[in-house]
Structure 1
Amino acid sequence: MSWAQTFPALGEDTLRSLRQGIDGTFREFTREHGETLERLFDPLREFLLASERLLTTSPWPLVVLGLAALIWLATRSWRIVAGALAALLLVGAFGMWDDLMKTLSMIFVSTVVALVAGIPVGVLMSRSDRVQRWVNPLLDVMQTLPSFVYLIPVVMLLGIGRVPGLIAVVIYAIPPIIRFTNLGIRLVSRDLLEAADAFGSSGWQKLRQVQLPLALPTIMAGVNQTIMMALSMVVIASMIGVQGLGQPVLRAITNQYFAMGLFNGLAIVAIAVLFDRVSQAYGRRLQKHQGVNHG
């Protein structure tokens, strides 16, 4: 029964040849198309740098007031605004303001890119069962693959820096917005769609004027999850040059600086709670608004 105790794996030579073949193919692709891909992502780099410059060079009182105004417009809750102000001022008081602004710019840009890329995919899935059957397994893989694995092909293609980190964050964070967009549109009542058909609405008009507005609360839940996943990737992406609150945490791990890791970790938690409360409050407002409209 000794054969049953050792799994009959492929031979070491076979496995080595397989790994070398995959690595060699990928390296060849990188040598041939790496510069082209870098130029392709230049607009993304400029967008990220502009966002970062705006937050880091603006006077901090102006940034705080601007963020407070945006939070108020989204939530209409003075309690959430007060909590956000307290969190921002506390993080700044501990000397982490610049890192906080860089993290916020990374989260903002990665979320925008994820929404621009993910919502059309979700819409397409909602309109085709065949597309849904093909995309769902891919999303399952993306959500279960260890986050460190995303860094390997990105670094091999684009090297180390902000843009590779941004791409890794987007890939890691995009599945929720795709899934929730698909779900929200599919949950729209058939009666409303039939009523839109009765008024002679085209497919684009139904999507823009009926399906997307009614699916917006569900889509906002996807936005919430996308932001949370992007923020959770900040520390991991710091390994390939993404600046922000993640890099001090990485230094604290490598040098055993407990206080530095604790303070920056708590800052990340504070920002995560802030984003979560704001996006949830905005989603609840949308649900109430939709309820009033239907009523």
Structure 2
Amino acid sequence: MIKIGTYIEQFINWLTHNCGPFFKTVKVGVEAMVNSVQWLLTFTPFYVVIALLALLAWRRAGWGVGTMTLLGLSLIYGMGYWGQTMETLALILVSAVIALLIGIPLGIWAAKNNTAGKVMRPLMDFMQTMPAFVYLIPAVLFFGLGKVPGVFATIIFAMPPAVRLTTLGIKQVPEDIVEATRSFGATSRQLLFKVELPLAMPTLLAGVNQTIMMALSMVVISAMIAAGGLGEVVLKGITQLKIGLGFEGGIAVVILAIILDRITQSFGKKKQRAKH
């Protein structure tokens, strides 16, 4: 019998015992980021946050999305889940930003290096298809309970779309444009930042959208390890069999997901129209 789980458990335990100071440093840094964003969102009056998000949605995606944002966030406040929503939004923003900061460079590397691309493809498949609950186990062992393991698990779960779509966007840049740029003496850095990334931007922004959506889904699951937010409301509804509580938490999650999806999609669509 091949006990793969035993070897993985031994490896995780070895990391826990030998890399303790590193994990503590990471925990302090990530916790400070999450608390700072959460403080900013909760310290700012709710009507200011609602107005700013509604204005952003209106400017980027039209009056329909702007109105929906205004009414949806007002409903969340009226239901009494404003604090939990801002807590969830802080977790999403921090997790998505870190996932993008890691995933986009990896996607560029995979597009530029065939060996890296071949190695990264099955790794991304593994990360994306592994049940989300599995990531909670090493996260708790490394960082304990709370927001930080939730962020850690969310980063791993949400990063594959950023890597995949960055790689796809760069590979879709027409070869004749690349060759023409090189013939004019452009360096590799100039080719990347002035030609390939601008042309790949619509696809790259689609990766940003998918990363944020997957971060939202994972942040809700992370309530099982005391990450808090709207996931905690939904979890209480499940464990206590309170249908109304779970339904209200679910509505707040759906409203937040639609707002984030429409706003991030609008950036990609405008870039796509500009490209054409």
TM-score range, shorter chain: over 0.9
1:285 maps to a residue whose letter is K
Which residue number corresponds to residue 19 of structure 2?
A: 33
Q: CA deviation at 1:85?
A: 0.9
Q: CA deviation at 1:45?
A: 1.7
How many residues of Structure 1 are paired with residues of Structure 2 in the alignment?
276
Q: CA deviation at 1:27?
A: 2.4
Secondary structure at the counterpart of residue 19 of structure 2: helix
Q: Pairwise mapping of residues 189-228 of structure 1 onto structure 2 (< 5 A)?
A: 189-228=174-213
Q: CA deviation at 1:212?
A: 0.4
Q: Give the conservation status (yes or no) of the 8 Å contact 1:111–1:170.
A: yes
Q: For 1:164 and 1:226, how far apart are their aligned partners in 2?
A: 18
Q: Which residue, out of 214, 219, 224, partners 1:229?
A: 214
Q: CA deviation at 1:66?
A: 2.0
2:263 maps to a residue whose letter is V
Which residue number corresponds to residue 152 of structure 1?
A: 137
Q: Which residue, out of 247, 250, 270, partners 2:235?
A: 250
Q: Give the conservation status (yes or no) of the 8 Å contact 1:34–1:158.
A: no
Q: Which runs of 5+ in 1 are unaligned?
A: 1-9
Q: Which residue, out of 131, 136, 161, partners 1:176?
A: 161
Q: CA deviation at 1:30?
A: 1.1
Q: Give the conservation status (yes or no) of the 8 Å contact 1:91–1:267.
A: yes
Matched, 1:56 2:42: yes
Query: Residues 254, 55 of structure 1: CA spacing in aligned structure 2 closer, same or farther, 3 A cutoff?
Result: same
Q: Which runs of 5+ in 2 are unaligned?
A: none
Q: Cα deviations across residues 196-216 of structure 1 (Å, max 9, x unaligned)?
A: 112211000010000001100
Q: Cα deviations across residues 74-93 of structure 1 (Å, max 9, x unaligned)?
A: 33x12111111111111111
Q: CA deviation at 1:266?
A: 1.3
Q: Cα deviations across residues 150-175 of structure 1 (Å, max 9, x unaligned)?
A: 01111111111111110101100000
Matched, 1:280 2:265: yes
Which residue number corresponds to residue 92 of structure 1?
A: 77
Query: Residues 90, 19 of structure 1: CA spacing in aligned structure 2 closer, same or farther, 3 A cutoff?
Result: closer
Secondary structure at the counterpart of residue 233 of structure 1: helix
Q: CA deviation at 1:24?
A: 4.3
Secondary structure at the counterpart of residue 227 of structure 2: coil
Secondary structure at the counterpart of residue 194 of structure 1: helix
TM-score with structure 2 setting the length: 0.95
Q: For 2:223 and 2:90, how far apart are their aligned partners in 1?
A: 14
Deviates more, 1:62-71 or 1:93-102: 62-71
Matched, 1:131 2:116: yes
TM-score with structure 1 setting the length: 0.89
Q: For 2:212 and 2:12, how far apart are their aligned partners in 1?
A: 31
Query: Residues 22, 175 of structure 1: CA spacing in aligned structure 2 closer, same or farther, 3 A cutoff?
Result: closer
Q: Give the conservation status (yes or no) of the 8 Å contact 2:27–2:143.
A: no
Larger Rg: 1
Q: Give the conservation status (yes or no) of the 8 Å contact 1:119–1:181.
A: yes
Deviates more, 1:281-290 or 1:39-48: 39-48
Q: For 2:258 and 2:105, how far apart are their aligned partners in 1?
A: 28
Query: Residues 251, 24 of structure 1: CA spacing in aligned structure 2 closer, same or farther, 3 A cutoff?
Result: same
Of all paired residues, the percent bearing the same amino acid is 40
Which residue number corresponds to residue 81 of structure 1?
A: 66
Q: CA deviation at 1:41?
A: 3.7
Q: For 1:102 and 1:198, how far apart are their aligned partners in 2?
A: 51
Q: For 1:183 and 1:133, how far apart are their aligned partners in 2?
A: 13
Query: Residues 109, 31 of structure 1: CA spacing in aligned structure 2 closer, same or farther, 3 A cutoff?
Result: same
Query: Residues 276, 25 of structure 1: CA spacing in aligned structure 2 closer, same or farther, 3 A cutoff?
Result: closer
